[in-house]
Amino acid sequence: MYYTPETRWVFGAGGATNFNLGDSTATYESQAVFGVAYSLRKQFLSYANWRIFTDQNKNLLSGEVGWYDYVYFFLRHRE
């Protein structure tokens, strides 16, 4: 939960999991993360990303997917 003037209050939830697809002494730990959030200005954010190592690190599968109905405000530097 957080508050900004652009979003008002935002509520959300997320999670992460770590796991191993092979022998834990020969394979790196894999991770998957996900989250969703909704603002009182009817803005929505959802995302998932992952980094998965196969047995003995033969392959790495990584990626990210998300859908955002959200306005990002950027400050403009004035000289």
How do residues 15-66 score in pLDDT, each as one tens digit?
A: 999 999 988 889 999 999 999 999 999 999 999 999 999 999 999 999 999 9
pTM for the full predicted model: 0.74
Of 70, 74, 75, nearest to 40 by C-alpha is 70
Residue 23 tokens read as 């022998």
Placement of tokens 């530097």 in the chain: 77
pLDDT category at 75 given cuts 50, 70, 90 is low
- For residue 22, the model assigns a pLDDT of 87
Please state, in angstroms and as integers, the Cα–Cα distance from residue 3 to each residue in 15, 41, 71, following that order.
21, 11, 14
